[in-house]
Amino acid sequence: MQTYTRISISLLFFIGIPFLSAKEIVTTVKSADPTARTLTLEDDTVVSVSLGDAQIGYIGRQIKGDLVEEGDSKRLDFIWPDDPVDVQVANDINKQLHRDTVVRGRKAFRAVGENIPNFALYNQDGDLVTANSLKGKNLVMNFIFTRCAVATMCPASIARMSRLQREIKESDLKDVELVTFSFDPEYDTPGVMRLYGEQRGLDFANYTLLTGDPTAIKNIIKQLGVLVIPEDDTLNHTMATLIIDKNSKIIYRKDGSRWSTKDFLERLKVLESRKES
C-alpha cells in the first residue's frame, strides 16, 4: 500500500480540539463486505467505506482514496479506481478532448447534427467508459450533480430519466442506453453515483452514471452546452437532455428539466425505425 504525503484537514485543531487528517493512499482491495460496509486492503487493513463503495467492492482492483484514522478505526473516503492502464487510456483520450475544446474556441458548442466528442470517464461500477464504447446504441444523455436540492432541477430531470427508462422497457425499443453525467466530480465519486442511482430505482442494465476527471467534465459540458457556475455552497447550472444516435450524432436537444418522456420515447422510436428501414 503506497502512502502519499498530501495531508488534508477535515477537522481543525483548535483550542484543544483534535483534528482528523486524511492521507491519500494507493492500494489493492482483497475483499469487500457490503453488509458491514468495509473493504479489506492488500496489507489486511480493514477500512470502513460508504455503502456505494462497499457495493462496488473493487475486489482485486487498484484504487486510491483518502485514509482517515480516528482512534482504532480507519475510514477510506473519496475512492477512485486507479488501474494504471485505464488511467493512461483516460489521460490520452481526455488530453485530446481538451485540445479539441481549445482549438474549437468560441465554437466549442456542438449543435444538433454534430457528433459528441470522445471522452473517458468512470461509471457507477468504477469501470472506464468512453464515448466510442457507447457507439452502437441510441443514447439519452443528461447532466446533474447528486447534491442538487432544487426540486425542479436535477431531481426533476433524473425522475424523468427514470420514468423514460420504464417506458422504454414497456415498448419494443432495443439498444437504448440512458447516460447521466455528474458535473460535480469533486464529490460525486463512482460510489456516490452508484448509491444515487440505486436510491432512485435506476436499472443499471441500460443506465450509465458517469463521473471522473474534472477537466474532462468541464470540456464535455462546454462542448454540449451546459453552463455550471460555482456559487456559495452549491452549483448554479443550466440543464439539457440530448438524444444521440448509434453513430454518436446529436439528433435532438431539449433544454431545461421539464421535458416530456412521451416526446423522447416517440423520437427514439422514429430513430430506431430509420435504422431498420
Q: What is the CA radius of gyration of the chain?
A: 20
Q: Tell me the pairing of strands 228-231 and 138-144.
A: unpaired
240: its cell numbers: 439539457
- Decide if 184 contacts 230 (C-beta within 8 A): no
21: its cell numbers: 487528517
Residues 59 and 138 in one domain: no
Give this prediction's pTM.
0.91
For residue 67, what are the domain limits? 2-81
Mean pLDDT score across all residues of the chain: 92
Residue 18 pLDDT greater than 90, yes or no: no
The string of pLDDT tens digits covering residues 225-277 is: 999 999 888 889 999 999 999 999 999 999 998 899 999 999 999 999 885 54
Q: What are the distances in angstroms from CA 230 to CA 34, 164, 183, 236?
A: 34, 30, 11, 6
Residues 232 and 265 in one domain: yes
Q: Which residues pair with 47 in a beta bridge?
A: 39
Residue 17 pLDDT greater than 60, yes or no: no
Residues 40 and 95 in one domain: no
Query: At which of 26, 54, 81 does a domain end?
Result: 81
CATH number for the domain that contains residue 27? 2.40.50
Is 148 assigned a ligand-binding role in the annotation?
Answer: yes
CATH number for the domain that contains residue 186? 3.40.30.10
Is 237 assigned a ligand-binding role in the annotation?
Answer: yes
Residues 110 and 74 in one domain: no
Quick one: pLDDT at residue 15? 44
Q: Where are the alpha helices (DSSP H) in 74-212?
A: 84-104, 154-170, 190-199
Residues 92 and 62 in one domain: no
Residues 209 and 121 in one domain: yes
Residues 50 and 148 in one domain: no
pLDDT grade for 2, boundaries at 50, 70 and 90: low
Query: At which of 31, 50, 81 does a domain end?
Result: 81
Is 98 assigned a ligand-binding role in the annotation?
Answer: no
- The number of distinct structural domains making up the chain is 2
Q: How far apart are the first and last CA of the chain?
A: 56
For residues 55-81, average pLDDT? 96
Residue 207 pLDDT greater than 90, yes or no: yes
